[in-house]
A and B are shown apart, each in its own frame.
Chain A
Amino acid sequence: MKRTISLTINGKTYTDEVEPRLLLIHYLREVAGLTGPHIGCETSICGACTVLVGGKTVKSCTMFAVQADGRELTTIEGVAAADGKLDPVQEAFWNEHGLQCGFCTPGMVLSVKHLLAANPNPTDQEIRHGLDGNLCRCTGYQHIVNAVKAAAAGKGGV
Chain B
Amino acid sequence: MIPQPFDYYAPATLREALAMIASGEHKILAGGMSLVPLMKLRLALPEHVVDLGRIPELNYIAESGGVLRIGAMSTHHDIESSAAVRAHCPLLAEAAGHIGDAQVRNMGTIGGSIAHADPSADYPAALLALETKIRIVSANSDRTIDAAEFFVDAFTTALEPGEIVLELQAPVEDQGEGYCYEKVPHPASGFAVVGVAVRVKKAGGKIAMARIGITGMGPRPFRDSMAEKMLESGTEIGQATQSIGQGEEANSDLYASGDYRRHLARVHAARALRTALTRAS
**A contacts, CB < 8 Å to B:** 1, 3, 19-21, 23, 42-45, 47, 50, 56-59, 61-64, 66-67, 69, 111, 114-115, 130, 132-134
Mask for B2-20, Cβ within 8 A of A = 1, else 0? 1111111010000000000
Also in contact, A45 and B189, with CB within 8 A (given A23-B40, A56-B77, A63-B32)? yes
CB-defined contacts of B104 to chain A, threshold 8 Å: 44, 59, 133
Tell whether, in the assembled complex, residue B32 and residue A62 are in contact, meaning their CB atoms are under 8 Å apart: yes
Tell whether, in the assembled complex, residue A64 and residue B36 are in contact, meaning their CB atoms are under 8 Å apart: yes
For the A-B complex with A21-B5, A23-B40, A67-B53 known, give 10 more contacts whose Cβ atoms are closer than 8 Å: A1-B7, A21-B2, A23-B36, A42-B41, A57-B102, A59-B107, A61-B40, A63-B32, A67-B29, A132-B190
B33 within 8 A of A: yes
CB-defined contacts of B36 to chain A, threshold 8 Å: 23, 44, 62-64
B116 to chain A, nearest CB (A): 13
Tell whether, in the assembled complex, residue B106 and residue A67 are in contact, meaning their CB atoms are under 8 Å apart: no
Tell whether, in the assembled complex, residue B101 and residue A20 are in contact, meaning their CB atoms are under 8 Å apart: no
Tell whether, in the assembled complex, residue A20 and residue B7 are in contact, meaning their CB atoms are under 8 Å apart: yes
A47 to B49, CA, bound (A): 25
- Some 11 contacts from A to B, beta carbons below 8 A apart, are A1-B7, A1-B8, A20-B6, A21-B6, A23-B36, A42-B1, A42-B41, A62-B37, A64-B8, A67-B29, A132-B101
CB-defined contacts of B33 to chain A, threshold 8 Å: 44, 62
Chain B residue nearest to A24 (CB atoms) is: B36
CB-defined contacts of A69 to chain B, threshold 8 Å: 10
CB-defined contacts of A64 to chain B, threshold 8 Å: 8, 29, 32, 36
B63 within 8 A of A: no
B254 within 8 A of A: no
Instruction: Tell me the B116-138 residues at the A interface (CB within 8 Å).
Output: none
Also in contact, A114 and B6, with CB within 8 A (given A42-B40, A64-B32)? no
**B contacts, CB < 8 Å to A:** 1-8, 10, 29, 32-33, 36-37, 39-41, 49, 51, 53, 77, 100-104, 106-107, 188-190
CB-defined contacts of A42 to chain B, threshold 8 Å: 1, 37, 40-41
Tell whether, in the assembled complex, residue A115 and residue B102 are in contact, meaning their CB atoms are under 8 Å apart: yes
CB-defined contacts of A67 to chain B, threshold 8 Å: 29, 32, 51, 53
A57 to B108, CA, bound (A): 12
CB-defined contacts of A23 to chain B, threshold 8 Å: 2-3, 36, 40
A57 to B39, CA, bound (A): 21
CB-defined contacts of A115 to chain B, threshold 8 Å: 102
A112 to chain B, nearest CB (A): 11
B238 to chain A, nearest CB (A): 29
CB-defined contacts of A130 to chain B, threshold 8 Å: 102
A21 to B8, CA, bound (A): 8
B273 to chain A, nearest CB (A): 24
A72 to chain B, nearest CB (A): 14
Chain A residue nearest to B5 (CB atoms) is: A21
